[in-house]
Amino acid sequence: MQESTITIQTRDGIALQTWRWAPAGAPRAAVQLQHGLGEHAGRYRRFGEALTAAGYVVYAPDGRGSGRSAAGAYGRWGRDGWPGWVDDVWQLNQHIRTEHPALALGLVGHSMGSFATQQFLLDHSDAVQAAVLLGTSEPAGIAAMLSAEGPVDLSSLNQGFEHRTGFEWLSRDAVEVDKYCADPACGFVPEPFQGLQTLAWAADPAELARVRKDLPILLLSGDADPIAGPGGAAVQLVGQRYRDAGVHDVEVVLYSQARHELLNETNRDEVTARLLAFLDRTLRR
């Protein structure tokens, strides 16, 4: 895997430090990867290696307020707040299109990145050839929870799990949980999201009707993920909303006992293989 860094400028002046992971030969397609809240794109290097080994060129930004882009000010979202998160997806999309105008492009979003992806697709579903939502949920409920006054507190998500670190909800793999806890760029308490109420648009049938009908969408979740609802019910609801909107290639896969970070779970090889099979089917046909 060939690793380099590019910089993407946001509309409100933030320099997003973005990993570019490339295969040894000419890429067959491109993947844009959006990480979640309280983490950074460097945690996806192992997944990037799997993607580049399969012939994909990968772009993985440290989002605003995250990783190298935060410059130490973790959880500070900038002037544009949540709408800026969503527009950042578009800015990187356009950069990838400039570098690889002939390649099919898939968008993979995890957790908060999956919510940015859901909102992004309302306006830009024609800008990607496939979308994957990892560790996702029903967006209106998430918008309400994270729009509450005061700092964002996710500690309640660990209820029902063992309390060794407080982050057991992320994965059954204790080694991966410990890596997260030891990483100073993970687990920070962010400032409140400005403009997050716009995420609720992604639950509106009239808005979802604007998503193009031939866009393949894959939703992957653990059925023990606390944001997925009991048994993954909230993920199933998201998938059904896309089907009700007329999108005809929607697949929902729930993994028994798996928690939030599927790419860091004990069955991550199975998850990675399923995701690669979907990308091969939709981007390389």
Domains and CATH numbers, the chain: 2-283 (3.40.50.1820)
pLDDT tens sequence for the chain (285 residues): 999 999 999 999 999 999 999 999 999 999 999 999 999 999 999 999 999 999 999 999 999 999 999 999 999 999 999 999 999 999 999 999 999 999 999 999 999 999 999 999 999 999 999 999 999 999 998 888 887 666 666 778 999 899 999 999 999 999 999 999 999 999 998 888 899 999 999 999 999 999 999 999 999 999 999 999 999 999 999 999 999 999 999 999 999 999 999 999 999 999 999 999 999 999 986
- Terminal CA-CA length for the chain: 23
CA 23 – CA 10 distance, rounded (Å): 27
What distance in Å separates the CA atoms of residue 274 and residue 93, rounded to the nearest whole number?
Answer: 24
φ, ψ (nearest 5 deg) of residue 226:
-65, -20
Residue 158 neighbours by CB distance under 10 Å: 17
Closest CA to 133 of 89, 194, 183, 76: 89
pLDDT, position 285: 65
Q: SS3 sequence, 98-134? A: HHCCCCCEEEEEECHHHHHHHHHHHHHHHHCCEEEEE
Closest alpha carbon to 139 in 209, 224, 242: 242
Coil, strand or helix at 52: helix
Other residues' Cβ atoms within 10 Å of the Cβ of residue 99: 14
**Cα gap 36→135, rounded to integer Å:** 9
